[in-house]
């Protein structure tokens, strides 16, 4: 994987993750996280001579990675608030079926 492929693949994973977060789609978020983990494993397993370029390419994605992290944090907080509204004791479970 070269740096261009890495960035393209990671951007696609981040976009999928953002969409899953917006839909509160746990499975989609989990899949995107798995994809990101696979990408990082490939960077780690890349030959030492290729790794600096791959790491540099990933640094270009810091802003997008932070944005998704922020969205995840907000989604978690919104869900926590919804649970508290439904079960003020905080002991209830919020379940939804699509």
Of the candidates 58, 75, 47, 44, the residue with the CA atom closest to the CA atom of residue 5? 58
pTM for the model? 0.75
Each domain of the chain, given as residue ranges in start order, spans 3-86
- Per-residue pLDDT band at 98 (split at 50, 70, 90): very low
In terms of DSSP H, where are the helices of the chain?
Answer: 3-22, 26-45, 51-59, 62-86
Residues 30-81 pLDDT 10s: 999 999 999 999 999 999 999 999 989 888 899 999 999 999 998 888 888 8
What are the structure tokens assigned to 41, written together? 């494993």
CA distance 82 to 92: 10
């Amino acid at each position: 994987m070269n740096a261009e492929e890495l960035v393209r693949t990671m951007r696609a994973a981040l976009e999928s993750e953002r969409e899953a977060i917006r839909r509160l789609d746990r499975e989609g978020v989990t899949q995107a996280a798995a994809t990101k983990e696979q990408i990082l494993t490939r960077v780690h397993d890349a030959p030492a001579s290729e790794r600096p370029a791959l790491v540099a390419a990933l640094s270009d994605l810091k802003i997008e990675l932070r944005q998704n992290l922020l969205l995840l944090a907000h989604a978690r907080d919104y869900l926590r608030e919804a649970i508290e509204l439904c079960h003020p004791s905080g002991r209830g479970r919020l379940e939804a079926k699509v």
